[in-house]
């Protein structure tokens, strides 16, 4: 069964460093997303991406965040200068249709900023 894969599963970084979280969405999907879940809190939408551009972003997704689809398979989330409060589980998701269908999630990357 096709699945969304994310690497690494756990990333520890020092405050102020740049991190890149990687995702391989399901191959025939067209819409890609990043969500995050701070420990003990709800899963929150960060950004959606379609046709090689951001289609929507939340207030959380400020200038320190960026996304890219560098080739036909990878979808990355970059955090330029990490802060302690960026520590969270980051989930990548994809679906074949944007509206009113379920998104399929990866297993997540646990980012710890120290």
Partner 1 sequence: DQQVKQNSPSLSVQEGRISILNCDYTNSMFDYFLWYKKYPAEGPTFLISISSIKDKNEDGRFTVFLNKSAKHLSLHIVPSQPGDSAVYFCAASGRYGGSQGNLIFGKGTKLSVKP
- 110 is written with which tokens? 């646990």
Task: Pick one of 32, 49, 75, 91: the residue that binds partner 1 (CB under 8 A).
Answer: 91
- Is 103 a binding residue for partner 1 by CB under 8 A? The answer is yes
Give 15 or 57: the residue with its C-beta nearer to partner 1: 57
Distant-in-sequence, close-in-space partners of 47: CB < 8 Å, separation ≥ 6: 33, 34, 54, 56, 57, 58, 61, 65, 67, 77
90 is written with which tokens?
A: 């980051």
Residue 51 binds partner 1, judged by CB under 8 A: no
Please report how close the Cβ of residue 16 comes to partner 1 at its closest, in angstroms: 27
User: CA–CA separation, 86 vs 68, rounded Å?
Assistant: 19
Q: CB-wise, 39 or 84, nearer to partner 1?
A: 39
The rounded distance, in Å, linking the Cα atoms of 47 and 81 is 18
User: Does 48 participate in binding partner 1 (rule CB under 8 A)?
Assistant: yes
By CB under 8 A, tell whether 76 contacts partner 1: no
> Counting contacts by CB under 8 A, is residue 27 touching partner 1?
no
Nearest residue (CB) to partner 1, 69 versus 89? 89
């Amino acid at each position: 069964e096709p699945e969304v894969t994310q690497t690494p599963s756990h990333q520890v970084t020092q405050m102020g460093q740049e991190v890149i979280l990687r995702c391989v969405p399901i191959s025939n999907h067209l819409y890609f997303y990043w969500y995050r879940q701070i420990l003990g809190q709800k899963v929150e939408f960060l950004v959606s991406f379609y046709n090689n551009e951001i289609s929507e972003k939340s207030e959380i997704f400020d200038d320190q965040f960026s996304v890219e689809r560098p080739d036909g398979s990878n979808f990355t989330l970059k955090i330029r200068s990490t802060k302690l409060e960026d520590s969270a589980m980051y989930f990548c998701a994809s679906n074949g249709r944007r509206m009113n269908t379920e998104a399929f999630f990866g297993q997540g990357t646990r980012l710890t900023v120290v």
